[in-house]
């Protein structure tokens, strides 16, 4: 039988354990499983190379292949990202940057055991809500509070606990779809509640709710349209009127706020968004909101309201399925504490509000510095540009924040953007007006020089 070209080198390939031993000696910090995986992949690649007619390579070349595979195997898939999009709460790259106090709290709690559900006074099992409930009640004025894994989970839990098998009245103009094709009607269906739509897409009146009430009505639901706006001939019923109607008939009113701010955003030059406090003041029985949007904490669904409703919600079987862990509680507690301070302290100590509050002149100077430290091939050009930042994650969808950044003209902006995404750390940018745009508002301290180096190196490899 005539041997396949290059196949005569197969007998000289090292065994996996032999290559692994050499790799382990050079990289003792690597895990045994990663070393075995890298050795196996390198040998298999060399085998395919030989069977494909390739020439025999020496042991050093195979070792280098194994080292490349080891680097790939040992890298976390959760690569850090430099956010140069100008979108402060960017869902795809993790939404809020946690405040330093929250990062410290997570690190501390993650490194050992904690009093998550342990009552130190009695030595018995306690309740994990205890770490944040009083704090949330102080901030919002509610009677009781609990947590779920995110706001969609919070809405699912609330409707399951209060309305399973019964009707929930909701305006047609509030049947929103959030990211990932996740829709309010589908959440309601999963909860076991029956949706009773009222009004029209653009206008719903109090009489529409009143006429829909019957003996099977369990909840009146209001959903804040976080990620879209309807303009023109529109109208919706104020929350206060829904609460009055609900109380006339003994029906709880649930307000799904989505982003759920704890401060008046106008203090930071942004349009006001509904706050959790305003919903509680209006008399809503239950209010749900997100922990990782305008609160700027970890992913969580925050449920606040009356003690009577919260007791039913806590006792529902889904509460355990949707509960959060110690890292989320530690981070959320630390983030929430910042809202007890004045706005100046919040800006100084919370990355989200620091980014909201940055001044245009400061951003322009930072963009100018970025332009000066970029080193691009002659086929590329860069300029300081006025641009627009956004809140993101469905908050204030039709409002842009004036900002500054740099615009890079190059032979292929899409290719530059892609290669920058594949760098380490990854770079998230925007492509507009035929340029790659880097908005400096969302850069974190110390990232500007790293960003400049990554973009310069990437462009140089493509077009030098």
Confidence band (pLDDT; 50, 70, 90) for 4?
Answer: very low
Which residues span the domain enclosing 255? 100-348
Contacts 24+ apart (CB under 8 A), 264-268: 265/294, 265/356, 265/396, 267/343, 268/343, 268/347, 268/353, 268/356, 268/357
What pLDDT was estimated at residue 362? 97
Q: Is residue 365 part of a domain?
A: yes
As for how many domains the chain has, the answer is 3
Examine the domain organization and report whether 402 and 381 are in the same domain.
Answer: yes
d(CA 255, CA 87): 26
Confidence band (pLDDT; 50, 70, 90) for 353?
Answer: very high
Q: Are the beta carbons of 170 and 195 closer than 8 angstroms?
A: yes
Examine the domain organization and report whether 133 and 275 are in the same domain.
Answer: yes
Q: Is residue 2 part of a domain?
A: no
Per residue in 129-173, pLDDT (tens digit) is 999 999 999 999 999 999 999 999 999 999 999 999 999 999 988
pLDDT for 196 beyond 50: yes
pLDDT for 174 beyond 90: no
What pLDDT was estimated at residue 181? 58
CATH number of the domain that 311 lies in?
A: 3.40.640.10
Examine the domain organization and report whether 430 and 377 are in the same domain.
Answer: yes
Examine the domain organization and report whether 62 and 87 are in the same domain.
Answer: no
Confidence band (pLDDT; 50, 70, 90) for 71?
Answer: confident
What pLDDT was estimated at residue 437? 98
d(CA 154, CA 316): 12
Examine the domain organization and report whether 318 and 277 are in the same domain.
Answer: yes
pLDDT for 75 beyond 70: yes
Confidence band (pLDDT; 50, 70, 90) for 394?
Answer: confident
Q: Is residue 291 part of a domain?
A: yes
Examine the domain organization and report whether 173 and 291 are in the same domain.
Answer: yes
- Residue of 130, 166, 144 lying closest to 308 (CA atoms): 144
Q: Is residue 12 part of a domain?
A: yes
End-of-domain residue from the set 329, 348, 367? 348
Q: Is residue 1 part of a domain?
A: no
Examine the domain organization and report whether 321 and 452 are in the same domain.
Answer: no
Per residue in 199-248, pLDDT (tens digit) is 987 889 999 999 999 999 999 999 987 656 666 677 789 999 999 999 99
């Amino acid at each position: 039988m005539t041997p396949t070209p290059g196949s005569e080198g197969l007998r000289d390939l090292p065994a996996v354990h032999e290559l692994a031993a050499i790799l382990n000696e050079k990289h003792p910090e690597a895990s045994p499983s990663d070393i075995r995986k890298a050795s196996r992949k390198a040998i298999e690649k060399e085998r395919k190379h030989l069977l494909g007619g390739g020439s025999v390579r020496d042991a050093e070349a195979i070792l280098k292949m194994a080292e490349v595979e080891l680097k790939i195997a040992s890298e976390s898939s959760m690569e850090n990202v430099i956010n140069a999009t100008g979108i402060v709460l960017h869902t795809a790259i993790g939404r809020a940057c946690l405040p330093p106090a929250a990062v410290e709290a997570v690190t501390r709690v993650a490194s050992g055991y904690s009093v998550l559900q342990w009552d130190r006074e009695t030595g018995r099992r306690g309740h994990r809500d205890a770490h944040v409930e009083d704090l949330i009640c102080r901030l919002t004025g509610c009677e009781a509070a609990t947590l779920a894994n995110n706001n969609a989970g919070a809405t699912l839990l609330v409707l399951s606990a209060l309305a399973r098998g019964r009707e929930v009245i909701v305006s047609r103009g509030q049947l929103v779809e959030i990211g990932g094709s996740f829709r309010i009607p589908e959440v309601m269906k999963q909860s076991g509640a029956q949706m009773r739509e009222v009004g029209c897409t653009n206008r719903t009146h109090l009489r529409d709710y009143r006429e829909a009430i019957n003996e099977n009505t369990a909840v009146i639901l209001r959903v804040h349209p976080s990620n879209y706006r309807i303009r023109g001939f529109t109208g919706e019923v104020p929350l206060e009127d829904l609460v009055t109607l609900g109380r006339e008939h003994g029906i709880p009113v649930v307000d799904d706020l989505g982003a759920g701010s704890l401060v008046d955003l106008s203090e930071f030059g942004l349009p006001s968004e509904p706050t959790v406090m305003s919903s509680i003041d209006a008399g809503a029985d239950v209010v749900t909101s997100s922990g990782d949007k305008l609160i700027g904490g970890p992913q969580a669904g925050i449920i606040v309201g009356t003690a009577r409703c919260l007791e039913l919600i806590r006792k529902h079987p889904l509460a355990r399925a949707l509960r959060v862990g110690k890292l989320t509680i530690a981070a959320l507690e630390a983030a929430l504490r910042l809202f007890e301070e004045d706005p100046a302290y919040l800006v100084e100590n919370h990355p989200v509000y620091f980014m909201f509050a940055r001044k245009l002149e400061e951003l322009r100077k930072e963009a100018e510095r970025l332009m000066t430290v970029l080193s691009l091939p002659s086929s590329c050009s860069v300029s300081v540009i006025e641009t627009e930042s956004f809140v993101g994650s469905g908050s204030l969808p039709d409002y842009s924040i004036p900002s500054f950044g740099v615009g890079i003209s190059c032979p292929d902006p899409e290719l530059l953007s892609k290669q920058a995404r594949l760098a380490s750390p990854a770079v998230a940018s925007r492509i507009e007006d035929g340029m790659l745009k880097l908005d400096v508002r969302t850069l974190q301290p110390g990232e500007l020089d790293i960003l400049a180096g990554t973009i310069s190196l990437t462009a140089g490899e493509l077009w030098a």
